[in-house]
A and B are shown apart, each in its own frame.
Chain A
Amino acid sequence: MTAARRHGTEECRAIFARLSEYLDQEPDADLCERIDEHLADCAPCEAFLASLRRTVDLLGDVEPVELPASVRQEILDRIGRLRD
């Protein structure tokens, strides 16, 4: 059984700097593997990643804004004048 990794190491800091790329699945396979291994053994980093993932999910769930009808009409009117 592997002893739990001590949190706060240079490796934690290095991983912390790349967590968004990891969430976005952008790093190369070697780095992903290194992060996977670290997270499997470092509960605080894993918990931090979960909270960052939740933040990104919340941002993606924000409801779209409607274009006010008056603004839409104003745009179409201005385009109509450009056409004339």
Chain B
Amino acid sequence: LTPETDEALLEAVRRDDPAAFERFVARYGRRIYGFGLRVCGEPEDAKDVAQDTLLQAFRSLKGVAEAKALKTWLYRVASNACRMKRRRGKFEPERELSLDELMPRLDDAGPGDLVPDFRPLPDESASREELRASLRAAVDALPPHYRIVLVLRDMEELDTREVAEALELPESTVKMRLHRARLQVRKTLEERLGA
């Protein structure tokens, strides 16, 4: 059986097919919940993000012009729900990390010499569970405005333009934050797991 396309699903929603929204929840509920969990960190917040996003989808989905815009639209609503959660929590200014903070350390032998000490990240050496826990900790430790970009780009697999649209940011800002977020995660993994 061929899976239902987003186009067909959106069309069924527009026709008020009674089962269409259940199929929509089956398709996107897990992704939105997972996104909320990775960005907000707490299951209770992820539940609220999933509920807010899917209820908003129920109210507004018919107004989404094209199926290809659906994913970006959903993540924009979910991202806003995550931001609202953050505003209710502790306020932290959105500082940008400098690249110098994330570069490998300098060699004592002289300024400008980077230490060629890029320890390999583990393949077989670390247990899968240790790796998973370290990765989760590294992502959780990111500043929230970096974490959301990394989760959308590298875990939810949106492209740069889609992330920019979902977060209503310039693509240049997305690229800058993504790079710093990856560097920070790499650094944390190396510190925790490097040989």
Chain A residue with the shortest CB-CB distance to B100: A13
Contact between chains at B160 and A78 (CB < 8 Å)? no
CA of A55 to CA of B131, assembled, Å: 11
Chain A residue with the shortest CB-CB distance to B32: A67
Contact between chains at B51 and A75 (CB < 8 Å)? yes
- Where chain A touches its partner, the secondary structure class is helix
B interface residue count range (under 10 / 10 to 19 / 20 to 34 / 35 or more): 35 or more
**B104 contacts which chain A residues (CB < 8 A)?**
48
CA of A55 to CA of B132, assembled, Å: 12
Chain A residue with the shortest CB-CB distance to B99: A17
Number of cross-chain contacts by CB at 8 Å:
116
Question: Which residues of B are at the interface with A, using a C-beta cutoff of 8 A?
Answer: 21-22, 25, 29-31, 33-34, 37-38, 43, 46-47, 50-51, 54-55, 58-59, 99, 103-104, 106-107, 112-114, 116, 118-121, 131-132, 135, 139, 150, 154-155, 157, 160, 175, 178-179, 182-183, 185-186, 189-190
Question: Which residues of A are at the interface with B, using a C-beta cutoff of 8 A?
Answer: 7-9, 12-13, 16-17, 19-21, 24, 26, 43-44, 47-48, 50-52, 54-56, 58-60, 62, 64-68, 71-72, 74-76, 78-79, 82
